[in-house]
C-alpha cells in the first residue's frame, strides 16, 4: 500500500482520492481529479446514479459543456469508479465530502447527509487520511459537527495546531475547501476559480493547496484555517443575495413610481464603485437561497453543542437570534428575494384584471421551471412558488421547460389556449420565440417578463400586452 504521508505532496502516482456525494458538485470534482491522472473512487447512496455513472453516462442533464465527454473518458480509462459501498474507500488517502447541506422551512441547517457521511467515513478510513469538506456549511460546522462524529468511535483524533495527538495510528486530518461552481459552468468554474483551502493545521492547508493545484493550474489557492474557509463561502453567497435583493427592491420602487430599473441600473453603474446586479423573478438553487441562512446559523453554534449533549438535533433556528440584535440584513434580503415570485403572480393577476378576466378562470403558461437559464436544476426554483400561488388562486397552470424532463415539448402547443404567459427563466430557446406563432396559439397575448428577456417595443408591435418586472407604466 502507498504511504499516507503522500497527502503532504499528493500526486497521481502516490494518492488515491475518494469523493463522497456525486451530485452537481461531487461528480465534476471526481471527473477532474481523474482527468489529471488520479485514481478516484466516487461514493453515492443512489444505486441508480452510481450505475449510470459507471456506464459513463452523466446524470446531469442541463447544458453542461464537456462533462458528459469527460465522464465517458475517465470511466473508460478506469481512473474513476463509482460505488455505493463505503468499504471501497479503505484505500483512499484523501477524501472530499460533497453531500447536500439544505436548510429546513425554519432556516435551520439540515446536516443528515453530512453526519451520515462522516459516520460512514469513520468506519472505513485509514490512519492519516485527509478528509476535506467541500459542502457549504455554517461557520463552525466542520470542527463542531464533523470532527466529533469522526472522533466518536475513539479510534481517530483529528490533528490540530496544538499537536497534542501523538499516536500516528489514530491521527487523521480535516480540511474545508468550499466549492464555487455553478450549474452550466461546472467544469469551467472548477478549473478556473480560486479556492480557500482551510486546514486543521497550516501544513494541511498547504497540502490542500498542493492537491487542488493539480486541477486548478492558474487561479489563487489560499491556505487558511477551517473557520475562515467556512465563513468565506457563506459570506460570498450571502453578499450576492443581499445585492440581488437590493436590485429587486429598487425594481419594486421603479414599478411604483413609473420608472425603469433596467435603465436606472445602467446609469447607476456608471458611478464609480457601483455594480448594481440584475432584478428578476426570484432567486433559486441549492446555494444562494440557503447559504445566507447557514452564515446566520453560525451565530447559534454554541447552542448546538448544548443541544447535542441533551440529544437535540440541529442548531437553533436563526430566527431566535432575531429576537436579539442580529442578523437583520440577511433575513431582510431573503424576504425581498422570496417575495419576487409572489410579485410575478401579482403582475399576472393585475394584467388579467385589466383585461376583465379573473385569475381563477385563467390558463397561465409558465416559461421555465429550472432556477437558472439552460440548466435542469429545479432546486428551490422561484417557478415552483409562482405555480403554487397561481394554483392556490384557481388558475390552470401549464409549465414548459426545455431542460426539465416532465415539462419538455413544443412551446407553442403548451401556449395553446393560454390567457397569459410568464417568462421566469431566460433559457436561450426562449430568446428566439416566434411571437406571431405564440400570439396565434394564445387566447390573449399577455406576456409578463420576469427577466428582461425581451424588447418591449418589439413585443408591443407584435400585439402583446407586455409588462416587465421593474418597469412601471
- Binding ligand NAD by CB under 6 A: which of 107, 195, 286, 304? 286
Residues between 29 and 48 that touch ligand NAD (CB under 6 A): 43-46
Query: 17, 95 in Cβ contact below 8 A?
Result: yes
Nearest approach, Cβ of residue 226 and ligand NAD (Å): 15
Residue 171's SS3 state is strand
Nearest approach, Cβ of residue 256 and ligand NAD (Å): 34
Which residue is it, cell 429598487?
250
Angle among Cα 234, 374, 458 to the nearest 5 degrees reads 115
Q: What share of the chain is helix, strand, coil (3-state, %, to 5)?
A: 45, 15, 40
Establish if 24 lies at the interface with ligand NAD (CB under 6 A).
yes
Distance separating the N- and C-terminal Cα atoms of the chain:
72
**Binding residues with ligand NAD: total (CB under 6 A):** 27
Closest-by-Cβ residue to ligand NAD is 23
**Residues 6 or more apart from 388 whose CB is under 8 A from it?**
none
Comparison of 39 and 375: residue with beta carbon closer to ligand NAD: 375
Cell numbers for 231, please give them. 465563513
Comparison of 21 and 445: residue with beta carbon closer to ligand NAD: 21
**CA distance linking residue 124 with residue 134, whole number of Å:** 19
Name residue 153's beta-bridge partners.
none
Determine the interface stretch with ligand NAD among 88-96, 98-106, 148-156, 448-456 (rule: CB under 6 A): 98-106
- Binding ligand NAD by CB under 6 A: which of 16, 22, 132, 441? 22
- Binding ligand NAD by CB under 6 A: which of 140, 183, 282, 450? 183
Establish if 98 lies at the interface with ligand NAD (CB under 6 A).
yes
Residues between 140 and 159 that touch ligand NAD (CB under 6 A): none
- Binding ligand NAD by CB under 6 A: which of 129, 135, 201, 383? 135
Comparison of 64 and 128: residue with beta carbon closer to ligand NAD: 64
Establish if 136 lies at the interface with ligand NAD (CB under 6 A).
yes
**CA distance linking residue 350 with residue 176, whole number of Å:** 48
**CA distance linking residue 135 with residue 233, whole number of Å:** 10
Question: In a 10 Å sphere around its CB, with 0-12 CB exposed, 13-18 middle and 19+ buried, how is residue 370 labelled?
Answer: buried
Comparison of 193 and 388: residue with beta carbon closer to ligand NAD: 193
Comparison of 137 and 418: residue with beta carbon closer to ligand NAD: 137
Establish if 20 lies at the interface with ligand NAD (CB under 6 A).
yes
Comparison of 126 and 189: residue with beta carbon closer to ligand NAD: 189
**CA distance linking residue 447 with residue 468, whole number of Å:** 8
Determine the interface stretch with ligand NAD among 97-105, 208-216, 265-273, 437-445 (rule: CB under 6 A): 97-105
Query: 181, 194 in Cβ contact below 8 A?
Result: no
Which residue is it, cell 427592491?
249
State the residues that interact with ligand NAD by CB under 6 A.
Answer: 20-26, 43-46, 49, 98-101, 113, 116-117, 135-136, 179, 181-183, 286-287
Amino acid at each position: 500500500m502507498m504511504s499516507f504521508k503522500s497527502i503532504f505532496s499528493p500526486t497521481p502516482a502516490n494518492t488515491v482520492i475518494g469523493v463522497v456525494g456525486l451530485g452537481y458538485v461531487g461528480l465534476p470534482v471526481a471527473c477532474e481529479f481523474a482527468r489529471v491522472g488520479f485514481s478516484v473512487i466516487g461514493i453515492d447512496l443512489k444505486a441508480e446514479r452510481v450505475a449510470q455513472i459507471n456506464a459513463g453516462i452523466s446524470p446531469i442533464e442541463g447544458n453542461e459543456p464537456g462533462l458528459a465527454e469527460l465522464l465517458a473518458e475517465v470511466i473508460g480509462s478506469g481512473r474513476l469508479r463509482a460505488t455505493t459501498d463505503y468499504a471501497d474507500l479503505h484505500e483512499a488517502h484523501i477524501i472530499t465530502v460533497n453531500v447536500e447541506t439544505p436548510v429546513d422551512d425554519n432556516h435551520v441547517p439540515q446536516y443528515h447527509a453530512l453526519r451520515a457521511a462522516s459516520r460512514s467515513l469513520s468506519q472505513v478510513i485509514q490512519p492519516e487520511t485527509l478528509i476535506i469538506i467541500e459542502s457549504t456549511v455554517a461557520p463552525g460546522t466542520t470542527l463542531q459537527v464533523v470532527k466529533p462524529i469522526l472522533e466518536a468511535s475513539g479510534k481517530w483524533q483529528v490533528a490540530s495546531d496544538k499537536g497534542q495527538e501523538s499516536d500516528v495510528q489514530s491521527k487523521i486530518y480535516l480540511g474545508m475547501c468550499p466549492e464555487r461552481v455553478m450549474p452550466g459552468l461546472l467544469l469551467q468554474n472548477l478549473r478556473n476559480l480560486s479556492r480557500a483551502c482551510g486546514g486543521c493545521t497550516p501544513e494541511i492547508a498547504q497540502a490542500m493547496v498542493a492537491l487542488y493545484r493539480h486541477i486548478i493550474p492558474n487561479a489563487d489557492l489560499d491556505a487558511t484555517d477551517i473557520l475562515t474557509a467556512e465563513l468565506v463561502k457563506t459570506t460570498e453567497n450571502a453578499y450576492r443575495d443581499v445585492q440581488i435583493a437590493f436590485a429587486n427592491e429598487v425594481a419594486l420602487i421603479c414599478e411604483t413610481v413609473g420608472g425603469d430599473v433596467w435603465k436606472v441600473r445602467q446609469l447607476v453603474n456608471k458611478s464609480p464603485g457601483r455594480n448594481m446586479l440584475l432584478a428578476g423573478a426570484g432567486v433559486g438553487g441549492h446555494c444562494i437561497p440557503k447559504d445566507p441562512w447557514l452564515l446566520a446559523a453560525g451565530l447559534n453554534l454554541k447552542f448546538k453543542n448544548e443541544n447535542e449533549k441533551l440529544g437535540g438535533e440541529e442548531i437553533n433556528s436563526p430566527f431566535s437570534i432575531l429576537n436579539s440584535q442580529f442578523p437583520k440584513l440577511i433575513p431582510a434580503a431573503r424576504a425581498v428575494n422570496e417575495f419576487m415570485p409572489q410579485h410575478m403572480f401579482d403582475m399576472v393577476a393585475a394584467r388579467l384584471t385589466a383585461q376583465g378576466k379573473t385569475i381563477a378562470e385563467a390558463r397561465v403558461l409558465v416559461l421555465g421551471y429550472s432556477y437558472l437559464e439552460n440548466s435542469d436544476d429545479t432546486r428551490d426554483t422561484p417557478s415552483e412558488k409562482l405555480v403554487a400561488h397561481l394554483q392556490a388562486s384557481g388558475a390552470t397552470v401549464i409549465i414548459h421547460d426545455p431542460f426539465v424532463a416532465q415539462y419538455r415539448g413544443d412551446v407553442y402547443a403548451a401556449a395553446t389556449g393560454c390567457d397569459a404567459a410568464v417568462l421566469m427563466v431566460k433559457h436561450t430557446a426562449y430568446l428566439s420565440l416566434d411571437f406571431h406563432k405564440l400570439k396565434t396559439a394564445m387566447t390573449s397575448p399577455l406576456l409578463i417578463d420576469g427577466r428582461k428577456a425581451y424588447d418591449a417595443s418589439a413585443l408591443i408591435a407584435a400585439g402583446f400586452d407586455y409588462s416587465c418586472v421593474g418597469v412601471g407604466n
